[in-house]
Amino acid sequence: MPASRSVDMLVVGAGFAGLYMVHRARGLGLDVEGVEAGDGVGGTWYWNRYPGARCDVESLEYSYSFDEDLQQEWEWTERYATQPEILRYIEHVADRFDLRRSFRFGTRVTTATWSESAPRWTVETDAGDAYEARFLVMATGCLSMPIDPQIPGLETFAGEILHTSRWPHAEPDLVGKRVGVVGTGSSAVQSIPLIAERAAALTVFQRTPTYAVPAHNHSLDPEEQAAVKARYPELRAEARQMAIATGSRVPRIDASTFEVDEQTRHQRFEQAWQWGGLPFLGAFNDLIIDPAANETAAEFVRAKIREQVSDPEVAARLTPRQVIGCKRLCVDSGYYATFDQPHVRLVDVGATPIDSVTPAGVRVGSDDGEDIELDVLVLATGFDAMTGALDRIDIRGRDGATLRERWAAGPQTYLGLGVHGFPNLFTVTGPGSPSVLANMVVAIEHHVDWITDTVAHLDGTGRTTIEAEREAQEEWVAYVNDVASYTLFPTCGSWYLGANVPGKPRVFMPLIGFPGYVQQVSDVTADAYRGFTLT
């Protein structure tokens, strides 16, 4: 066992969450250290360097609010910043608050064991480091553990295999190459138009068609940016009152779909389409609750797909049939139109499954199948969302049980912040909190602020531990499921439900509705941390 370093708090991850946590912990005067698997800060924005990677929450909102000078001085260049710009921003934050010196980079946490007698967490890494920490903060990310698809023969491919979320730092040369993309989720939708610009031939292997709403991305007008900054605190506060913690500048009406006549409804969808992005699903207040209402929005988007793709057969294959919004809505810049280009081909692997990867490419169909020759295979196959990064660490709680075992039937948390049996362990944007159904920077700031206040409270009142109570946790898990069951979210096999990972239990993981959640956390805290045991 290596000599261990003793700290007040250990933070795992150096994305938006881990960096802010270290900053706040320092502010409390804690001795805090961080460990990050990547070689630099940024988390999502360190790893996901594929062409077209950008945020789908507007940058003026997808950014920290905790420091007025920071939010005033940083200038965004686009409505939706690209990955390099977001990474530059996070690096700027790390430098501005001198955060890098607290992190050990290129190092993965492998085990974390609670010792009741200490009481402390003992944490080990793959570099052989060990830490003793009073508090352990998992800022490990909801979308940080990529899925490697199980396709027979993948390892035999003679060309280059690229994963969107592990894209090489030196941009791979796709010019003139025959490229295949597996997947049609967000990363695929963002990257396909740009890959098509470079490739000689592009084949997209689609299992499920995707709904995408245009980003209408554009350079940010300095006057628009100045106007937002002049009212920043007010706009941020308004955004925190919105279901997904973003959209304070979106023109909105609070009406249900069938409250208005058909023409008005169509106009409203058209307005939302022209505005662009995720707010489309807020065009009416019941789109994600009422199946008939949802179908009107879905049909509107289907018609838009048909307008963008001239070959009716290709358009039909690109057209989703499921509930819109039930899988994460994609925000696109030219996705559907890409399929109008002669060198771009769509293979519906629902109808013609991928049989195997061969040294020369991908074989689809069975006996009389087809070999599609490729130089590069891009895997845009998504993430083991919300639990994936935590599952990969051997986390042992009070009675020696692992978190993985405890979560075998689905994740169990109280408020998405604490887990029964795992004292002094905090999950930032953990399952059971709004997390991926909110502007995540806002959700992260909320959690980190709460963790900071809670640690200050414990230290200030002479307590050493905090642990979620079993009953409170059970009620919370049931509540999160109840809320989901009133919506259309559980109606399709999404990653919110774990359906994209073979063998993962199907449990709806995030909590719907940011403002209600914030109120509940605040009520719990004000009521002497109801549902937690403090000792």
Ligand X SMILES: Cc1cc2nc3c(=O)[nH]c(=O)nc-3n(C[C@H](O)[C@H](O)[C@H](O)COP(=O)(O)OP(=O)(O)OC[C@H]3O[C@@H](n4cnc5c(N)ncnc54)[C@H](O)[C@@H]3O)c2cc1C
**What six digits make up the tokens of 423?**
């004292």
Task: Decide whether 112 or 297 has the Cβ nearer to ligand X.
Answer: 112
Task: Decide whether 32 or 357 has the Cβ nearer to ligand X.
Answer: 32
Planar angle of CA 333, 339, 341, nearest 5 degrees: 105
Task: Decide whether 240 or 268 has the Cβ nearer to ligand X.
Answer: 240
DSSP 8-state symbol, 337 = H
Task: Decide whether 55 or 151 has the Cβ nearer to ligand X.
Answer: 55
DSSP 8-state symbol, 156 = G
Contact present, 436 and 388 (Cβ < 8 Å)? no
CB of 109 to ligand X, least distance (A): 4
Q: Does 191 help bind ligand X (rule: CB under 6 A)?
A: no
Strands 160-163 and 376-379, bridge-based pairing: parallel
Question: Of 436, 47, 322, 377, which Cα lies nearest the Cα of 183?
Answer: 377
CB of 60 to ligand X, least distance (A): 12
The residue count for binding ligand X (CB under 6 A) is 36
CB of 353 to ligand X, least distance (A): 26
Task: Decide whether 12 or 364 has the Cβ nearer to ligand X.
Answer: 12
Site for ligand X in 435-474 (CB under 6 A): 439-440, 444
Give me the 88-117 binding string for ligand X, x by CB under 6 A, dash otherwise: --------------------xx--------
How many whole angstroms separate alpha carbon 375 and alpha carbon 178? 5
Phi-psi region of 112 (alpha: psi -120 to 50; beta: other; left: phi over 0): beta
Q: Does 18 help bind ligand X (rule: CB under 6 A)?
A: yes
Site for ligand X in 197-226 (CB under 6 A): none
| Alpha carbon separation from 457 to 115, 170, 194, 454, 512 (Å, rounded) | 22, 46, 50, 5, 28
Task: Decide whether 329 or 362 has the Cβ nearer to ligand X.
Answer: 329
Task: Decide whether 275 or 300 has the Cβ nearer to ligand X.
Answer: 275
How many whole angstroms separate alpha carbon 283 and alpha carbon 297? 9
Task: Decide whether 121 or 300 has the Cβ nearer to ligand X.
Answer: 121
User: Segment contacting ligand X (CB under 6 A): 9-17, 93-101, 466-474, 484-492?
Assistant: 9-17
**What six digits make up the tokens of 408?**
């075998």
CB of 77 to ligand X, least distance (A): 16
Q: Which of 179, 196, 393, 451 binds ligand X (CB under 6 A)?
A: 393
Site for ligand X in 113-172 (CB under 6 A): 139-144
DSSP 8-state symbol, 386 = T
Residue 55's CB is within 10 A of a number of other CB atoms, namely: 24
How many whole angstroms separate alpha carbon 192 and alpha carbon 362? 18
How many whole angstroms separate alpha carbon 377 and alpha carbon 368? 22
Q: How far is CA 90 from the centre of its chain?
A: 16
CB of 299 to ligand X, least distance (A): 26
Q: Does 494 help bind ligand X (rule: CB under 6 A)?
A: no
Tell me which residues touch ligand X (CB under 6 A). Answer: 12-18, 35-38, 43-44, 46, 48, 53, 55-57, 62, 108-109, 139-144, 187, 389, 393, 428-429, 439-440, 444
